[in-house]
Amino acid sequence: MGDIIRQLPDNVANQIAAGEVVQRPASVVKELLENSVDAGAGHIQLLAREAGKSGIQVIDDGAGMTETDARMAFERHATSKIESAEDIFAILTKGFRGEALASIAAVAQVELKSRPKNQELGTFLRIEGGRSMRQEFCSTAAGTQIDVQHLFYNIPARRNFLKSDNVELRHMIDEFERVALAHPSIHFRMQHNGSDLFDLPASSIRQRIVGVFGKKFNEKLVPVEEETPLVKLSGYVGKPQYARKTRGEQFFFTNYRFIKNGYLHRAVCKAFEGLLPPETHPSYFLYLELDPARIDVNIHPTKTEIKFEDDKAIHTIVRTAVRHALGQHNISPTLDFDTDQQFTPHQAKGPVEAPGVHINPHFNPFDSARSSPDYQAPPSTTSPSSPHPGRESTAPVSRQSQEWESMLNKLPEIPEEKQEEILAHQEPTGRRYLQIARKYILTHHADGMLMVHQHRAHSRVLMEQLLQDYQGGKTASQQLLFPLELSFTSGEMALLRELFPTLRELGFDLEESGSQQISIQGMPYHLDKLEPRYLFEKMLEDEKDHRQLSSEDLRETVVQTMAQLAAIRSGTLLDQEEMADLVERLMACQNPSLSASGDPTMLHFKQSDLDNYF
């Protein structure tokens, strides 16, 4: 047998190595942005097309490259950032392995234009699948522009592996946010398919956080400062009362690099102990500066996990500094005796809202003024005890609803001709409906009695109404007296934008009123009780779970969510007329026996069933 071992050609080796560095468009974004930061740029622009699948362009005004450097940059292990292995212990740049550009060029079509300030002509290069296709002089602005087109064009398997545009865009935004937050003194912009997602002029850390996450963040931040010989700590934590159910904004940076470190995360959580409403997560933006020799960043080319030599000491410093900061701002119970009140679960459960007035010009038969005090509390997204209608079927209730279901299955359907009869039937007292526990409606049936779950029944009525309006093409929206303004982060806006067409179809009259704001002028009819903010939050959460829905599924989910959120709640007191109206409308539904989320809406006891009990 002859010799069989061969040296792989460079472009093949690069393609294989690329697997480690370039997993998706977001990896390219990270590497290119970091290179621009390393090049000392003051202004960095990211332009992406189709979630980066067709193009990712980064333009900077940094140091630029000479003709030879430009060519060298795409060689594997070609870097200007270290000379010897020891240098990596003093590394302050993002890159140093010299692998990123070679890897990217191996799996895409790349065009580069670059010019150092002191040279008149720049260099243009085109590289496809690691092969140089063109090189010439060009005139270009000082700095570097790299355009990465058709990622994985030569590796269809990898390309097919990419997720939906929404998901890939979310990943790109995550990377962009990390780099932008790490370097507030650099002006960053991001565009997607030609529209601006972020424009973040050079600023302070605080302004940068607000720029990324929205104006409302400003009031939520508490500064953290601490300087010890080992580490300089600065940044912000979110006030506990603004903590969210979704694990949101948690950022550590060491030496201006985004990192993940579970041990430090726990240090922050420890500092928040006793201050957070249950099941919520603190937000934090913490910047650590320390001697690079005391960090091990060299674990993996793209991993963000790092190890500290003195992790115990750093843990303590972070925990005490955060605790101290919370105390200073009168939000730690050790310093403020009023906080107990402030953090009662009732207050803290829901998302905190700026006070605002929501006027419904439409008469509402289920007037909330007569509902239980509980009713007004903002719905929480996960607490089982909450009045949130969508959550009524959490653990204990769903067991119950299984029982309901099996009972319901045993009971005969109400024949249509009987429905009329039920409703026409008058009892001698004149009271046809009895409300029980502000939750159930009991009424006569010619042949027994009917018990209706008011919230579920209403959700069914609303859902069918909405779908019917939609199908009949008459999703008239009802104008609000005062438009409602909701703010979101740019990242959330990017996701919400994709939902606009569906929401408009369903009767929402909405538009973007700023880069991070939605103005709602009108809502679908029948939805007096709907708090749009909760609808949007719910939809965002679904998006963040990376659920990919067809437009039809999406419409259905939105309708279902709207119906659940808008339906009268358990705890609402109803009068005869309201109960009559609800039961009548329920009976007119195509599928009256199930709620919007598929739970039973009513129980029907025949007289013979009743007789059995006696």
Q: Which stretches of the chain bind ligand ADP, using CB under 6 A?
A: 31, 35-36, 38-39, 60, 62-65, 73, 78-81, 95-102, 144
Nearer to ligand ADP, 60 or 392 (CB): 60
Q: In this chain, which of 95, 240, 277, 592 binds Mg ion, going by CB under 5 A?
A: 95
Both structure tokens of 510: 């909405």
How many positions of this chain bind Mg ion (CB under 5 A)?
3
156 with 15: CB under 8 angstroms?
no
- Give me the least distance between CB of 116 and ligand ADP, in Å please: 9
Cα–Cα distance for residue pair 161/152, rounded to 1 Å: 10
Interface region with Mg ion, contact rule CB under 5 A, candidates 16-24, 88-96, 135-143, 545-553:
88-96
Q: In this chain, which of 100, 271, 559, 602 binds Mg ion, going by CB under 5 A?
A: 100
CA angle 324, 327, 329 (to 5 degrees): 115
Nearer to ligand ADP, 100 or 518 (CB): 100
Nearer to ligand ADP, 45 or 339 (CB): 45
**Cβ-closest position to ligand ADP:** 95
Contacts (Cβ under 8 Å, ≥6 apart) of 576: 431, 432, 433
Nearer to Mg ion, 35 or 419 (CB): 35
Interface region with Mg ion, contact rule CB under 5 A, candidates 95-103, 162-170, 361-369, 524-532:
95-103
Interface region with Mg ion, contact rule CB under 5 A, candidates 27-35, 179-187, 389-397, 420-428:
27-35
- Give me the least distance between CB of 302 and ligand ADP, in Å please: 11
Q: In this chain, which of 15, 35, 454, 459 binds Mg ion, going by CB under 5 A?
A: 35
- Cite the beta strand spans of 491-565 per DSSP E: 509-514, 517-524
195 with 49: CB under 8 angstroms?
no
Cα–Cα distance for residue pair 142/292, rounded to 1 Å: 31
- Give me the least distance between CB of 20 and ligand ADP, in Å please: 13
Give the sheet arrangement for strand 433-436, strand by strand: 433-436, 440-445, 448-453, 602-606
Both structure tokens of 504: 């408009």
Q: Name the DSSP letter for residue 213.
A: H
- Give me the least distance between CB of 295 and Mg ion, in Å please: 18
The strand pairing partners of 236, in sequence order, are: 223, 285
Nearer to ligand ADP, 79 or 401 (CB): 79
126 with 111: CB under 8 angstroms?
yes
Nearer to ligand ADP, 72 or 397 (CB): 72
Nearer to ligand ADP, 55 or 98 (CB): 98
Nearest CA to 290 among 241, 257, 323? Answer: 257
Number of C-beta neighbours around residue 334 at 10 A: 10
Nearer to Mg ion, 100 or 565 (CB): 100
Distances (CA, A) of 554 to 179, 502, 549: 33, 8, 6
Q: Does 459 bind Mg ion (CB under 5 A)?
A: no
CA angle 80, 85, 88 (to 5 degrees): 70
Q: Which does 439 bind (CB under 5 to 8 A by kind): Mg ion, ligand ADP, none?
A: none
Q: Which residues bind Mg ion (CB under 5 A)?
A: 35, 95, 100
